[in-house]
A and B are shown apart, each in its own frame.
Chain A
């Protein structure tokens, strides 16, 4: 019984992790940029949802498409006006890393000024309900979040494998130079991808906000967990991301059997370092959007 309950908890958690991580992996896979502002996007999604919910009474489920569009536009603009001017790849890595980190700090403080540093939560009619299924309790909000995350990832998989835009993104990821020759506007694809990654982060933040309480530093832990998943799961593969997210969630949840619950939060970080160290070179996976 206990085992089943923990398993269910882990699977539900994994959906959110996969969604948080996928945007980060996508941007790295296509642009070769580690988007440290990812945490900021997650936080912004949460606060946007909060504002829409508290001021306009919009249920997070309704505001989700709106937040996806807003986050997409933000990512697109960020790419067009800032990220585009940066060097890429191994040598320019430090610069883009620091710059996007600066963007994150600015976002955090903008939110701090608007909403103060107080803890917030999006509370809906369904946020304190649970379904009972064969003795296992299923928190409604977690089930909804899981379902939406799966839906988003499925949609993304379809987009990348079945549509022209998706094929263009994959082609650019593999070889930007030959794409230019083939008449694909690489810059456009980059901006599109950056927007897509940001939209995923924003929506993940919104969904997370219905489960956890948050403040302007929300997103830093989520960013780290996203790294763990991306590093373990490889890039751009929806199945890889999903299974890595599941591994992380399982390890975290089942860690309570051997560790004080306090330290289960550190498990992900240790895992991150271990994976990075044990898989040098092929860190972010050789598979690029395969």
Chain B
């Protein structure tokens, strides 16, 4: 009750006086720690926390020759847009943070970044990959995820290579299902554009959307089943991947190539579905720890391994890199001043743990980073080697799916 009164009092309180010079930098963030995206929200949290711990171990941020402690205010947006928006508003206008780190998943980032833009506060995210978010040309929004269209393209690149080796039929019939979000639409664009460019090689026989966090995909899978496709390409978030693939398996489906977009190699999926059922699933991701053989990337993989006793996945890497990019920009600007940090981020260019080793936020792309995806494929032994692009591949990959022959 007293707290409620406090809220009431706050509600009617007048504007606070201007703040004195910073003795402490606070960075706000929300993540989906519960709700549909809870698992991945937890991964991002690990990445953020590692970055903040490392920075604090150095004594904080070096701003204009002075070490200033930096703290993270992290809250749970419950995987819903309304909460993400309300919390961002609270963080900016009530907790008075100096900058925001993004939440995870495109539809939450899209909603939340509007609040940051409106309040003119830097918003750096590694969780929103849909290009639609950046087409709004916001000035305070920076994204580390390469566009999802490139993801669809990367998958098709490997498939095309397999087809040219006559491992897949020509034309190959594609069943394309995508979540009904900007993320899914970008994925679909990437795949259909590729198919259109390679006339006669691919035929998209199912092209359907599904609701984010649906609980039952039977209707969709019945349609996929009826289409008799060779290739099953889906774009789904982790919980949807697990639910859908479980129903996929029990419906007796099997395709020569199976992919759930960026999902597939997660340990949780193998545990939930059984190793046998996730074999040969193809996925294209923003980062893979097998890239970590030297330099920054290796340092990150080692530090993560030491802190959490397991290897990082792309989720933690992107979160870590997102926080690091903000720190670097603040140190380069020599201040936590929102406008100066924004300018530094806009002209940012630096070494990175991301696949091409460099990070920048090109203004032509609405300040969304661009780099190539890595395609990986689950193997029966539980590993997921990189199969594409050829320059970084450490295995050829398997097509068509050997399990289908046994099933039929």
Footprint of B on A, CB under 8 Å? Answer: 2, 5-6, 9, 13, 116-119, 121, 123, 127-130, 132, 137, 139-142, 211-215, 218, 221, 252-253, 255-256, 260-262, 264-265
Selected contact of B250 from candidates A5, A139, A215, A256, CB within 8 Å: A139
Give A141 to B243 CA distance when docked, in angstroms: 14
Question: Which residues on B sit within 8 Å (CB–CB) of A214?
Answer: 215
Selected contact of B210 from candidates A9, A121, A261, CB within 8 Å: A261
Q: Find the B residue at minimum CB distance from A263.
A: B219
Mask for B134-160, Cβ within 8 A of A = 1, else 0?
000000000000000000000000000
Does B209 reach chain A (CB closer than 8 Å)? yes
A128/B210 in contact, CB under 8 A? no
Give A123 to B277 CA distance when docked, in angstroms: 14
Selected contact of B78 from candidates A117, A129, A139, CB within 8 Å: A117
Does B318 reach chain A (CB closer than 8 Å)? no
A256/B222 in contact, CB under 8 A? yes
Does B349 reach chain A (CB closer than 8 Å)? no
Task: Count contacts on B: residues with CB < 8 A to the other chain.
Answer: 35
Give A218 to B214 CA distance when docked, in angstroms: 11
Selected contact of B222 from candidates A123, A215, A253, CB within 8 Å: A253
Q: Find the A residue at minimum CB distance from B38.
A: A118
A213/B215 in contact, CB under 8 A? yes
B35, B222, B272, B273, most chain A CB atoms within 10 A = B222
Selected contact of B219 from candidates A116, A127, A137, A252, CB within 8 Å: A252
A6/B222 in contact, CB under 8 A? yes
User: What's the nearest-Cβ distance from chain B to residue A11, in Å?
Assistant: 13
Q: A117-B34, A117-B35, A118-B38 are in contact. Are A140 and B216 (CB under 8 A)?
A: no
Does B347 reach chain A (CB closer than 8 Å)? no
Question: Which residues on B sit within 8 Å (CB–CB) of A116?
Answer: 34, 38
Q: Find the A residue at minimum CB distance from B227.
A: A2
B250/A262 in contact, CB under 8 A? no
B35/A261 in contact, CB under 8 A? no
B225/A13 in contact, CB under 8 A? no
B225/A5 in contact, CB under 8 A? yes
Give A182 to B103 CA distance when docked, in angstroms: 66
User: What's the nearest-Cβ distance from chain B to residue A5, in Å?
Assistant: 7
Does B18 reach chain A (CB closer than 8 Å)? no
User: What's the nearest-Cβ distance from chain A to residue B397, in Å?
Assistant: 24
Question: Which residues on B sit within 8 Å (CB–CB) of A118?
Answer: 34-36, 38-39
Question: Which residues on B sit within 8 Å (CB–CB) of A6?
Answer: 222
List 8 A-B residue pairs with CB atoms under 8 Å apart, sorted by A's residue number: A5-B222, A117-B36, A121-B272, A130-B250, A142-B250, A212-B215, A252-B219, A256-B220
- A123-B246, A213-B215, A215-B36 given; 15 more Cβ-contact pairs under 8 Å: A2-B225, A117-B79, A118-B36, A119-B36, A121-B242, A128-B246, A128-B274, A128-B277, A140-B250, A141-B250, A212-B216, A253-B219, A260-B209, A261-B208, A262-B211
B218/A121 in contact, CB under 8 A? no
Give A193 to B245 CA distance when docked, in angstroms: 39
What 5 A-B pairs come out closest when comparing CB atoms? A137-B252, A139-B250, A261-B220, A261-B219, A118-B38
Question: Which residues on A sit within 8 Å (CB–CB) of B251?
Answer: 130, 137, 139
Does B201 reach chain A (CB closer than 8 Å)? no
B249/A128 in contact, CB under 8 A? yes
B180, B220, B243, B246, most chain A CB atoms within 10 A = B246
Q: A117-B34, A137-B252 are in contact. Are A262 and B180 (CB under 8 A)?
A: yes
Give A119 to B251 CA distance when docked, in angstroms: 21
Q: A117-B34, A128-B249, A141-B250 are in contact. Are A262 and B209 (CB under 8 A)?
A: yes
Mask for B196-219, Cβ within 8 A of A = 1, else 0?
000000000000111101011011
